[in-house]
Amino acid sequence: MALLLHISDTHFGTEQPHVVRALLELAHRRRPDLLVYSGDMTQRARRDEFDAARAFCRELAIARTLTLPGNHDIPLFDVVQRAFRPYARYLAAFGPRLESCLDMDGFLVVGVNTTRPARHKNGEVSPAQVERVAHQLHGTRANQLRIVVTHQPAAVLREEDEHDRLIGADAALEAWSRAGADLVLGGHIHLPYVTEVAAPRPLWVVQAGTAVSSRIRHGTCNSVNFVEWKPQPGGRRQCRVERWDYRPDDGAFGMVDERGLMLGT
C-alpha cells in the first residue's frame, strides 16, 4: 500500500501553531510515503514565510515531496520583484523547478504551475502544459496511481466558485483523462471536496482545504487529505480518499470522511 498526504493553502504568516503541531503529529503517526503541497504556502511571499514553510516540510519528515507555487507565493506589493523575479523566493526555498514530476512505486505525480504573475488570483493552464502533462501520463506503469496537481481548482461544486476555476480546465481534463489521469489535486478556495468530472474515462478532482492557516472559509475547518492506493487483483483499480479535519475540542486532526473512488483501466 502507498499513502499520500495532500495539503494546501498553509499561508505561513497566518499559521496557527497549535494546528501546525497537530498536523505534524498526524503525519508522524500515519507516515505517508509522499507529500503533495498544492500551493499558497505563504501569505505574502516573504522570505521568512517561505523559511517557515520549508522548516515545516522538514518537520513532517516525509521521504518524497512535490510542491507547487500558489498565487500568494508571488509577491503582491513588491512590484519590482513581481515583475522581474516573481518566483525567486519560492525557488530559493523549494526549487530548482516550478513544475516537477515524481515517478515512484505506487504513484506518478505531475505538477502544473497554474499561477501567472500578470494575474492577481486566477490560474491558467496553457495548451503546451496540457500537452506536456498528457505526454508524461502516457509513460505510467500499471501499478501506479496517476495524479496531476494544480493550484486553482479544475472543477468546482458551487456556482459562486466558478470565477476561481482554472482557465483552460475543460480542455485539460479531457486530454489528461484520455492520457490516463486518475486524480487532479488542487486547493486555492479553501474548500475540501471530491467530485467526478465528465471525461472520456473516470477522473476525479480532489480539493484540499486550508491546512493550518487562520484563513478558514465556507464554515469549514482546517483540513488535509490522505490518498491511499493499493493495486487490486484482476486489474480492478480503486483508491481511497480520506478527509481529516482539525477538531478544536481535542486539539487533533480526525477523519471526517472517506470515499472509495473507482478508476479507469
pLDDT tens, position by position, 153-178 = 999 999 999 999 999 999 999 999 99
- Number of folded domains in the chain? 1
Q: Quote the pTM value.
A: 0.96
What does the pLDDT read at residue 57? 98
For residue 9, give the H/E element and its range.
Answer: none
Q: Note the Cα 69 to chain centre separation in Å.
A: 10
pLDDT tens figures, 60-72: 999 999 999 999 9
Return the sign of the alpha-carbon dihedral for residues 160, 186, 169, 68.
positive
Residue span of the structural domain in which 206 resides: 2-262
Give CA–CA dist 114/106, Å, rounded.
Answer: 25
Give CA–CA dist 146/136, Å, rounded.
Answer: 10
Task: Tell the burial category of 116 from Cβ atoms under 10 Å away from its Cβ (0-12, 13-18, 19+).
Answer: middle
Taking Cα atoms as reference points, which of 82, 74, 81, 78 lies closest to residue 98? 74
Give CA–CA dist 25/265, Å, rounded.
Answer: 36
- Only one residue has cell 507555487, namely 69
C-alpha cell at 120: 492577481
C-alpha cell at 242: 480520506
Helix spans in 151-247 (H):
169-179
Q: What is the CATH number of the domain that holds 130?
A: 3.60.21.10
Residues of the chain with pLDDT under 50: none
Give CA–CA dist 150/102, Å, rounded.
Answer: 14
Return the sign of the alpha-carbon dihedral for residues 228, 232, 237, 238.
negative
| 239 and 261 Cβ atoms separated by less than 8 Å | yes
The residues near 185 (Cβ < 8 Å, ≥ 6 apart) are 6, 36, 38, 147, 148, 149, 150, 206, 207, 208, 225
Give CA–CA dist 99/132, Å, rounded.
Answer: 11
Give CA–CA dist 54/90, Å, rounded.
Answer: 10
Q: Note the Cα 103 to chain centre separation in Å.
A: 17
What does the pLDDT read at residue 176? 98
What does the pLDDT read at residue 74? 96
